[in-house]
Amino acid sequence: MRPLHIALAALVAAVWGVNFVVIEVGLDHFPPLLFSALRFLVAALPAVFLVGRPTVAWKWIIGVGLALGVAKFGLLFIGMDQGMPAGLSSLVLQVQAVFTALFAALALSERPGRTRVLGMGVALAGIGVAAVDEGAGGPVLAFVLVVLAAACWGVSNVITRKAAPRDSLNFMVWVSTVPVLPLLGLSLLFEGWDRDTEALASLDWTGAGTVVYVAWISTVFGFAAWGFLLRHHPASSVAPFTLLVPVFGMSSAALFLGEPVSPLRWCAAALLVGGVALTSLARPRPAVAPPLPEAEEAEEAEGAKGAKGAKEAEQVQEAQEAGEPGEARQARV
């Protein structure tokens, strides 16, 4: 990769890492489901009028919109609102690579090799260490919600693989149109009209800035730049930069929010990042498909045809050898 492209990849990782700090600040101004709905509303408008028509079928857009937008971000925002630290959230969410590998093995018949299985085990060990660290002084339910968010992210990754969008920005903008109404409905149902209207009525520059960051900078710019990098370089060269996201997330949370990073949490980070690296960079073994009945029949027919042809040739040769003396005698007469 060119130095400028390396810098761009690192910048995107930094933007996505700092995004967790911005979410933490935004949750001081909005209820979590309303905040998530505003994120996708601002990300979709007016970009949806500028990116052109969808390049994939609507079933894929709706599927990713529900799994990623409603489930993943809804659970993440609720978990962080319930007390999950921003830095730890950025770390734990990376276990999505393990869930992606598991769901891909089930849905796409991608057989994980030994290296990938080892990486999944190391990453899960890191999650266990992080759970012990968080359970010692933090809300366990919030931790579980973020792990569930990572699982929903894994589901959306598998659906995205099936969709195979040619333009990641176009795809993400159209995906952003799906979660808005479901999240608004869930917000009204669980967070209440009064709480939502109070948050919107007391909107200040800080609150507006958090919405702009998570929508335009993290979503629109982030995915546009990432898509640009994937169009110019192999995914194996670009994907490892996502391992920098929890580094920037934990560092920025410690710097701007004063979140402590215990030795146990550093141990969890090392295990999780190392496990995700093994899981993400190892190539899955292709599934060995059983031979089709048509292929077996064709092979048997071809073999029978070859045997029949060989037998006929042998018979002709024997007839020629048997008829040659008679023809010779007639010629001599």
φ and ψ at residue 111, rounded to 5 degrees: -85, 115
Q: Which amino acid is at 182?
A: P
Q: What is the model's pLDDT at position 257?
A: 93
- Residue 284 pLDDT class (50, 70, 90 cuts): low
Which amino acid appears at position 189 of this protein? L
pLDDT of residue 243: 81
Could you please report the per-residue DSSP string of 162-228?
A: HH--S-HHHHHHHHHTSSHHHHHHHIIIII-HHHHHHHHHT--HHHHHHHHIIIIIIIIIHHHHHHH
Burial tier of 303 (Cβ tally within 10 Å: 0-12, 13-18, 19+): exposed
CA distance 26 to 38: 11
Cβ 43 vs Cβ 183: under 8 Å: no
Reported in sequence order, the residue ranges of the chain that DSSP labels E, i.e. its strands, are 110-111, 285-286
pLDDT value of residue 136: 59
pLDDT in the model for residue 27: 97
Task: State the average pLDDT over residues 325-331.
Answer: 41
Mean pLDDT of 46-73: 95
CA distance 271 to 274: 5
CB 71 within 8 A of CB 153: no
Q: Is the pLDDT of residue 59 over 70?
A: yes
110 bridge partner residues: 286
Q: What does the DSSP 8-state code read for residue 287?
A: P
Task: Identify whether the C-beta of residue 177 lies closer than 8 Å to the C-beta of residue 48.
Answer: yes
* The pLDDT of residue 324: 45
Tokens 């693989």 locate to 161
pLDDT band at 285 (very low <50, low <70, confident <90, very high): low
Report the pLDDT value the prediction gives residue 289, as an integer from 0 to 100: 47
Please give the average per-residue pLDDT across 216-223, as a whole number.
Answer: 92
Average pLDDT across the chain, whole number:
83
321 by Cβ neighbours in 10 Å (0-12 / 13-18 / 19+) ranks as exposed
What is the C-alpha to C-alpha distance for residues 217 and 43, in angstroms, rounded to an integer? 9
Share of the chain above pLDDT 90, in %: 48
Average pLDDT over residues 235-259: 85
Q: Is the pLDDT of residue 132 over 70?
A: yes
In the predicted structure, residue 119 carries a pLDDT above the cut 60: yes
Contact (CB, 8 A) for 52 and 170:
yes
| Cβ atoms of residues 250 and 91 within 8 Å | yes
Least Cα distance to 215 among 160, 175, 256 occurs for 175
The pTM is what?
A: 0.80
Q: Reply yes or no on whether the pLDDT at 322 is more than 60.
A: no
Q: What is the structure's pLDDT at 280?
A: 67
Q: Look at residue 221 and tell me whether its pLDDT is greater than 70.
A: yes
